[in-house]
Structure 1
Amino acid sequence: MHIMTIDFEASCLPRHGRSYPIEVGIADGGMSRSWLIRPHDDWAGWDWTPEAEALHGLSRERIAQEGLPASVVLAELVAAAQGCRVLADSLIDQYWLDTLAAAAGAPSPFAIQHVATLFDEERADEARVGAAVAFADGQGATRHRAAGDALWLSALIAHIRGVMLPAPQPILLAAQ
């Protein structure tokens, strides 16, 4: 099955309070897409930390103005992930997908698998994973933004699997 990577940026980490997704990005074969997510009314009063904002650089004002409704983001994300195995480098991404789906009034559309599952399947030892991390780090993806983090993970997976990728090409970066 074809692999697509996913990453979310959020209002804060759950250990700091009630967290909601503010950006989601996907990558596939050196191409990426991202969406800013307008805060849903259900998330009013949920937490926002200055540490999270400093990390991803997205302000509340920007996502309120430039973000798309949860239902629009979810529909486009579901269409993009059709027929794909979706992987992330953090288990918390499933929580944010579930939170996005709930705000859109829909069930969670797919399960996100942790990349470690693929490492096990590929019998990637620590040295091989380290080499893949170094390769991904050298690809120049913008980190701590959803599309960039998804591109980084896509490069890491390609290296593990021995797949050559074209140079990263962001596509249709909605509300970048």
Structure 2
Amino acid sequence: MNSPSQPVFIDFEASSLDLVASYPIEVGICLPDSSTHSWLIKPHVLWNDWSESAEEIHGLCRQRLVDEGIEVYRVVKEMNELLSGDIFCDAWTFDSFWMHRLFKAAKAKPTFHLDSISMLLNEEQILKWQDVRQQVISEMDIVTHRAANDAMILQETWKRLQHIK
């Protein structure tokens, strides 16, 4: 599915930034061919946390997740069908927590391994990451804090940094 030369990127949006009570509300991936997939996640019965300030950032209300979200077991099944090997994110502490919470609720194990994008970058690339990312966001002119878009921003930022060895 992917290799270090053509990585897959993933991003989660969540109910809040509380690393005890929060849960994933959306997950998006960007594949090596730049195609994206995303899932709005129906809150599991035990997931009650909600932050109005987080809602203002990602623009998703809890009722929309209840009405339009996909059950956790189906999200996990589809992710496992699409993904294998190492998958990269930019906020490993949060993303790994939300991924674990998602898979635990579905009583499943991932067929892939989540790792930090920093594992793909050298020191100079890490130092330039934020500036290049901001340039990508400005040029792509897409909504941020939506999972598939953010995964696409990760991919494009990574691509632009590849000339720095």
* Paired residues of 2:88 and 2:115 also in contact (CA < 8 A): yes
Higher RCO (C-alpha 8 Å, min separation 6): 1
Q: CA deviation at 1:124?
A: 2.4
Q: Shift in Å at residue 47 of structure 1? A: 1.4
Matches of 2:140 and 2:90, distance apart in 1:
17
Give the structure 2 partner of residue 12 of structure 1: 16
Q: State the alpha-carbon separation in 2 of the partners of residues 102 and 40 from structure 1.
A: 11
State which drifts further: 146-155 or 105-114.
105-114
Q: Which residue of 1 is the match for residue 27 of structure 2?
A: 24
- Counterpart code for 2:21: R
Q: Kindly state the Cα deviation for residue 134 of structure 1 after the two structures are TM-superposed.
A: 4.3
Q: Percent identity?
A: 33
Paired positions, count: 156
Task: Tell me which residue corresponds to 1:124.
Answer: 125
Relative to structure 1, the CA distance from residue 55 to residue 125 in structure 2 (aligned partners, 3 Å threshold; closer, same or farther) is closer
Identify if the C-alpha distance between structure 1 residues 136 and 109 changes in structure 2 by more than 3 Å, giving closer, same or farther. same
Q: Report the Cα offset of residue 123 of structure 1.
A: 5.5
The answer for unaligned runs of 5 or more in structure 2 is none
TM-score, structure 1 normalization: 0.80
Match of 1:104 among 85, 106, 109: 106
Maintained 8 Å contact 2:14/2:23 = yes
Q: TM-score, normalised by structure 2?
A: 0.85
C-alpha RMSD of matched pairs (Å): 1.9
Any runs of at least 4 consecutive aligned residues in structure 1 with deviations exceeding 6 A, and if so which? none
What's the counterpart of residue 81 of structure 1? 83
2:51 aligned partner, one-letter code: T
Taking the TM superposition and a 5 Å limit, the aligned residue runs for 1:1-176 are: 1=3, 2-14=6-18, 18-28=21-31, 29-43=33-47, 46-82=48-84, 84-91=85-92, 92-120=94-122, 124=125, 126=127, 128-129=128-129, 132-137=132-137, 138-162=139-163
Q: Which amino acid aligns with 2:140?
A: Q
Gaps of 5+ in 1: 163-176
